[in-house]
A and B are shown apart, each in its own frame.
Chain A
Amino acid sequence: MGKYLIRRLLWLIPVIIVVSGITFILMHSAPGGPWDRDTTARQVDQNTQRILNEYYGLDKPLWRQYVAYVIGDFNKQGKFVCGLVCGNLGPSYRMRGLTIQQILFMPPEGKNFLYSRFGYSMRLGVFALLFAVAIGIPAGVIAALKQNTIIDYVSLFIVTIGISVPNFVMALFLIILFASTLKWVNIVPRSWDEVSVWVLPTVILGFGTMARTARLMRGSMLEVMRMDYIRTARSKGLAERVVVLRHMIKNSLIPVVTILGPALAALVTGSFIIETMFGFPGMGRAYVTAIGQRDYSMIMGTTLIYAVLIALANLSVDIVYSFLDPRIRLD
């Protein structure tokens, strides 16, 4: 087990190198650079651009820039600045004076970590996951218990819609319905401290996961319901409530629990289109903006955070699975 964990974690290193390599090549082949893409502000003149390039090392050959990002390089004063290997995601070219990790993880003054960009995305992801679990699991259980009744068909229909309709289209429908027609919620919030403005992004983001959870739960319940131990439980005279709660639900939760890790990672990383739509102050919107602005280290840093999150989530499935199902051995 320990050996397996170490090997899987070591395997992250080549993944990070390849992912960062691809990102590096792609973003540097984009026309333009970090200084000349801002159409809203005054253009940076040639001389300043040259000085900025020199200061940030953007005048060096590309391979050297890549090595400088990953391992580190000597700056103008001859001091060694450590790169990715020390957890340094690089300086932002847009918000000069801040590093990427400060932009993403540092909350505004006087607030706690949850108010940083990453914290906002994380909260949205966690809320969406809670919504998905709180609705999805009961829906799956009820649909399985009432198999082939009208309840089952209605829930199957909603599940199919939730799985196939992309979340931004769903967002458009719900915005038109709840915000512009019924005027129940406000989609241009004055502050993200209000509870009501979180409702729509959370529901939209969590809807797909909710549908997937419900489908998985239904399938797994149907399988468990036909097991011998359920018949045994019934025949020894257990109350139906106990059979359902303690024997059926507990056993059919196993596959559902395993998808929660990746689901959370997908919700935290996959929210950038929702974040952009609602003007949410999270990591996803910062990422989309950074691509447009060619903020190289911001693009790189965020992509790597996403990649590591996804890899760790996938690792968590294997580990959780081996705990829940002792027949599976990791080696």
Chain B
Amino acid sequence: MATKPSVNPTPSQIADLTMMTVKPRSLWVDAWYRLIRNKAAVAGMIVIIFFLFVAIFANQLAPHNPLQTNAGKSFLPPAWMEVGPNGRPSDPAFFFGTDNLGRDVLSRTIYGARVSIVVGFLPTIVIVLVGSVVGLLAGYKGGQFDNILMRFTDVIYAFPDLLFFIIVMVTLRETFIGKLLNGLFLLFMALAIVNWVGFARVVRGQVLSLKEKEFIEAARCIGASDARIMFRHLLPNSLGPIIILSALTIPGMIITEAILGYLGLGLTPSTNPNDIFITSWGALMLDGQAAINAQPWLILPPAICVSLMVLAFTFLGDGLRDALDPRLQGTQ
């Protein structure tokens, strides 16, 4: 303090005092500063924003129409190779080379980003909404509802989830639902059905420990309703784990879509240029794997993109965990 406070402080002294106190920062701002000091998390964010940008502006960014086939220009090597293994010279117009029908690999990879971004975010939003509400109710109300949830989780955990996706995709893809959005809608539903349960279980655990705390008791004493306690007190206090878990759920979704696409069960590659989702990285890898020895450039761009995207989300998720819950730092 600048001056010793006297018994009757003058207005100017009071002004000095207020100026010297540190501006209060909320927990969220603190967490944000911790997050942006984490280099890996920032790198992850940059990669995610880059892919988001690529996905949104795929129309403008792609040098060629991803569906346009170029007769006589199939299996061209990437631009930095003079001559490919099949003796064809490269064409600078096709930076990553071309596939078996002469389609531009770079453009197809750019369009593939759309599917991965959407598959990462949309099912996760559904999972977070449903999982949080059910978890809150089960944790707070307990009783029969809680029991049913836990038994349901046991069953879902016992069911091999990838096999569930495979069966669902095989069985329902010819039906009406299976054809919405080239099969993506069905995939979203299958992903959400399996994954919300684990999410609900985590929220429930969080609520179980929170509801014994004093501030909940205090809220109940002043007559707050159950809904108010759940959504104004319990939910905001479990937001940390919810955010961390959602960031860590996204890479799982992207991987599952890539695996299914690779097995030929994900998105149905489209031939209609008006479609938003034309192909996915998984489908591209499936196309490329037939020629993995001779034309590895078909498979490498989508494989590297999937790896980058998943790594980026993992780094961001780990960074969020360290930022929002410093006690957990470095333990997992």
A interface residues (Cβ-Cβ under 8 A, vs B)? 11, 14-15, 18-19, 22-23, 26-27, 29-31, 160-161, 163-166, 168-169, 172-173, 175-176, 179-180, 215, 219, 222-223, 269-270, 272-273, 276, 287-288, 291-292, 299, 303, 306-307, 310-311, 314
Contacts and interface: CB of A to CB of B under 8 A. Distances in A.
Nearest to B309: A164
B187 interface: no
Contacts of A26: 167-168, 171
Contacts of A215: 332
Nearest to A218: B330
B262 A219 contact: no
A15 B171 contact: no
A269 B172 CA distance: 24
A30 B159 contact: no
B310 A164 contact: yes
A172 B158 contact: no
B330 A222 contact: yes
B9 interface: no
Nearest to A284: B163
A291 B311 contact: no
B255 interface: yes
B163 A172 contact: no
Interface of B: 151, 154-155, 157-160, 162-164, 166-168, 170-172, 174, 251, 255, 258-259, 262-263, 285, 289, 292-293, 296, 299-300, 303, 306-307, 310-311, 313-315, 318, 330-332
B167 A307 contact: no
B324 to A, nearest CB: 18
A262 B6 CA distance: 69
Nearest to B255: A166
Nearest to B318: A160
A186 to B, nearest CB: 12
Nearest to A215: B332
Given A29-B172, A169-B285, 9 more contacts: A11-B154, A19-B159, A26-B168, A160-B315, A164-B313, A169-B303, A175-B292, A179-B293, A270-B160
B259 A164 contact: no
Nearest to B154: A15
Contacts of B300: 176
Contact of A307 (B158, B170, B292): B158
A168 B262 contact: yes
B311 to A, nearest CB: 5
A125 to B, nearest CB: 14
A200 to B, nearest CB: 13
A172 B330 contact: no
A27 B299 contact: no
Contact of B159 (A14, A276, A307): A307
B331 A219 contact: yes
Given A30-B171, A176-B300, A161 B311 contact: yes
A236 B306 CA distance: 52
A11 B154 CA distance: 10
A19 to B, nearest CB: 5
Contacts of A22: 159, 164
A166 B171 contact: no
Given A19-B159, A222-B330, A169 B170 contact: no
Given A164-B310, A165-B307, A172-B285, A27 B162 contact: no
Contacts of A166: 255, 258-259, 306, 310
A118 to B, nearest CB: 15
Contacts of A23: 167
Given A15-B155, A288-B166, A273 B171 contact: no
23 contacts: A11-B154, A15-B158, A26-B168, A26-B171, A30-B170, A160-B314, A161-B307, A161-B311, A164-B307, A164-B313, A166-B259, A166-B310, A172-B292, A172-B303, A173-B303, A222-B330, A269-B160, A270-B160, A273-B259, A273-B263, A288-B263, A307-B158, A314-B157
